[in-house]
Amino acid sequence: MKVNTDSVLLGAWTPINLDAKTGLDIGSGTGILALMLAQRNPNLTLTGIEIEPNAFEESKTNFENSDGKHRLTAVNLPLQEFIPNSKLDCIISNPPYFIDDLKNQDVNKSQARHTDTLSFEELINFAEIHLSETGTFSLILPKTEGEIFIKLASESKLHLQQIAYIKPNSNKPVNRVLMCFGKEKKELREEMFCVYQSHQVYSERHHELTQDFYLDK
């Protein structure tokens, strides 16, 4: 699973409290989200948890070769078996989201994309238990799955605090949703933006969010 637009947008957009100390990247893949958060907050210590062995090894290598290696730990476990040492100030995830779709023949990709190994309910329950009182839980999902997730979370102790509706370009409908939840009930902050403003030209908002992470920006 390679770095994609979803992960870059999530890592750049997700709110992080300035006093956050502990973070968790669920389904870390290459480790890109943990690496981005470590770059954004030099006081944040992060764990990247990944069930797929090859992806775990890749994230472990990326962590060891990063400037923030002393603050990054890779763990090869399913979320259901992971117990953090303390409450988490920041949880981030680009989670599996295919619920009923046909499985990919590549077992590793299927595992990463389908909710068979990690359901929305399990994600929400984990955040309810382990998120600190002022912590944030951020994720990205396709529009329909995002609506399902928001409904499920509304039945929990988590409150939707921020949301961003993402369109590929101005001529296309919303196809992704960035969401941030927390235990604190706040006035909801909403926005909508496009990834591209024209053919192969990123939008101003995309540039603003990601300029610290792309070498050509």
Q: What are phi and psi of 141, to 5 degrees?
A: -145, 160
Report yes or no on 75 lying in a domain. Answer: yes
Report yes or no on 215 lying in a domain. Answer: no
Report yes or no on 31 lying in a domain. Answer: yes
What is the reported pLDDT for 116? 62
Q: What are phi and psi of 55, to 5 degrees?
A: -65, -40
What is the reported pLDDT for 114? 42
Buried b (16+ CB within 10 A) or exposed e, 52-90: beebbebbbebbeebebeebbbbbeeebeeeebeeebbb
Angle 8-14-16 (CA atoms, 0-180°, nearest 5)? 130
- Nearest Cα neighbor of 181 from 57, 106, 87, 90 is 90
Whether 1 shows a pLDDT value over 90: the answer reads no
What is the reported pLDDT for 100? 53
The residue range of the domain holding 96 is: 5-210
Percent over 90 (pLDDT), the chain: 83
Report yes or no on 198 lying in a domain. Answer: yes
Number of domains in the chain: 1
In angstroms, the CA 170 to CA 150 distance is 25
Report yes or no on 193 lying in a domain. Answer: yes
Report yes or no on 217 lying in a domain. Answer: no
- Antiparallel, parallel or unpaired: β 22-26 and 45-49: parallel
Average pLDDT (46-69) is 96
Average pLDDT (121-150) is 97
Report yes or no on 216 lying in a domain. Answer: no
Report yes or no on 104 lying in a domain. Answer: yes
Average pLDDT (71-91) is 96
Residue 204's CATH number: 3.40.50.150
Report the mean per-residue pLDDT for the chain.
90
Average pLDDT (158-171) is 97
CA distances 47 to 9, 15, 32, 74, Å, are 20, 17, 12, 6
Q: Answer positive or negative: Cα dihedral of 108, 109, 112, 118.
A: negative
DSSP 166: E
